[in-house]
Amino acid sequence: ILISQDRGKTWQAKIAPLASGAASGVFSIVFVDQQNGVAVGGTYDRPDIRTGNIAITQDGGNLWKRPKQSPGGYRSCVVAFDRPSDGKHYLIALGKTGADISKDLGNTWHAFSSQGFFAGSVGNEGKTLVAVGSEGRIGVLSLRTLALD
């Protein structure tokens, strides 16, 4: 992972504990604030493997580590949203084998769908997740319907 502390003038390479290889690596990164971030990926052609598919940072990207629990396999996208009622950060990871949510900055993950999606975005002031998958599939999920407590 490459990071810059000076708005892109210089870059430093940092090692993340994700799978590496021809069909492996980091596929998506999101930061919820200046310090806390999550990188997801894994091995694209072996989507059920739950190891080497996520890394978290709590220091702005200088040190990446494995969380306590990983999402359910290869993940190609991670998005973040806040819930105004409690001020907490939430993360959703999407991939071929399903979707997972984290309520603790990526330390633990809980599956909420086995439907595969490849990319997604949170909109409508953090109230809606729109995801895209194979064969032109589009999914729209009201984030209010997820059990966040």
Could you read off the pLDDT of 11-55 as tens digits, one per residue? 999 999 999 988 999 999 999 999 999 999 999 899 999 899 999
DSSP β-bridge partners for residue 81: 90
Count of beta carbons in the 10 Å neighbourhood of residue 27: 20
What span, in angstroms and rounded, lies between the C-alpha atoms of 53 and 81?
A: 21
- Would the pLDDT of 149 be above 70? no
Identify the DSSP state of 22: T
What is the rounded average pLDDT of the residues 52-74? 95
User: How confident is residue 83, by pLDDT bands cut at 50, 70 and 90?
Assistant: confident
Helix (H) or strand (E) holding 131: strand 128-132
Tokens for 147? 């059990």
pLDDT, residue 102, reads: 96
Q: What is the pLDDT of residues 94-147, one digit of tens each?
A: 999 999 999 999 999 999 999 999 999 998 888 899 999 999 999 999 888 776
What span, in angstroms and rounded, lies between the C-alpha atoms of 67 and 145?
A: 26
The answer to whether the predicted template modeling score (pTM) of the entire model surpasses 0.85 is: yes
Of the candidates 92, 100, 98, which has an alpha carbon nearest to the alpha carbon of residue 129? Answer: 92
R_g of the chain, CA atoms, integer Å = 15
Q: Tokens 């190891």 identify what position?
A: 51
What are the phi and psi torsion angles at 100 (to 5°)?
Answer: -135, 155
Of the candidates 1, 66, 3, which has an alpha carbon nearest to the alpha carbon of residue 34? Answer: 3
pLDDT, residue 124, reads: 83
